[in-house]
Amino acid sequence: MATFKYEVEILSLKEVHEIPGAWDEESFKGLLHHLEYDGVEEIPLEELREMASLALSDFEKEEAVEKVLEFRLGERLNKGQRKNLGNEMQEDPLWIEYSDLSLHEELFHVGCILYWTFPRNFPSPEIAKLTFRITARKPEAQSNLIAPGASFLCRVLNGGMDEHNIMNRLFDENLEGDSFPEADHILWQIQNEGFDEGSRSATVTVYTSWNWVEDLKGVDSYEVNAWADGQLEG
């Protein structure tokens, strides 16, 4: 059984309200075109976010939700689902609660611009930015640190929390097994600062909803056995 031991140090765990780059120049322009706003290409770059919110505010809140969902998710939601979410997104942080885990990240990005536009009517978009250093105890364990994937990182993070954390409660078989495809929808963005051969370590930053990592609050360091998908057969 190919499991490897690592030392993990939590460097920072803080609240953020957007993921950098998720709403960029092209996204704002695309939304404005989707809303049939005139003169999009003439808008100065520094004014795109404000103009996108202004254009969106011309719609009733429920229709604004549908418009942004249609733009960000296309056919992944049908018209009826988008309509239903028009009300739900005003009440609940669906990037945590929606039944389809694969939509959570995009629902968060939708929630961001809705909050920027209607701050009194939509939940504040609050997620976790977690930065941690992983060090391989032995040379054979360092291969997972060169380009760490979501399934490996979920197992690493799970090792720092007790067995009652929500990730373990929902996906204990995946965490203990050899395949964890849902991990890609748990860790929305992964930024690897690069593997350092001298220390056999990598520093990684992940963006995710709080429910997955909240139990790491107050944790400084720990040891864990972890592996990537496909390694248990190795």
pLDDT tens for each residue of 120-149: 999 999 999 999 999 999 999 999 999 999
Which residue, 119, 65, 109, 73, is CA-closest to 89?
A: 65
pTM over 0.85: yes
Residue type, 154: C
Cα–Cα distance measured from residue 102 to residue 209, given in angstroms and rounded to the nearest whole number: 13
**How many CB atoms sit inside 10 A of residue 35's CB?**
17
Whether 29 has a pLDDT exceeding 80, the answer reads yes
Task: List the domain boundaries for the chain.
Answer: 4-17+126-226, 25-117
Q: Structurally, what CATH architecture does the domain formed by 4-17+126-226 represent? A: 2-Layer Sandwich (3.30)
More confident residue, 179 or 75: 179
Q: Is 98 helix (H, G, I), strand (E, B) or coil?
A: coil
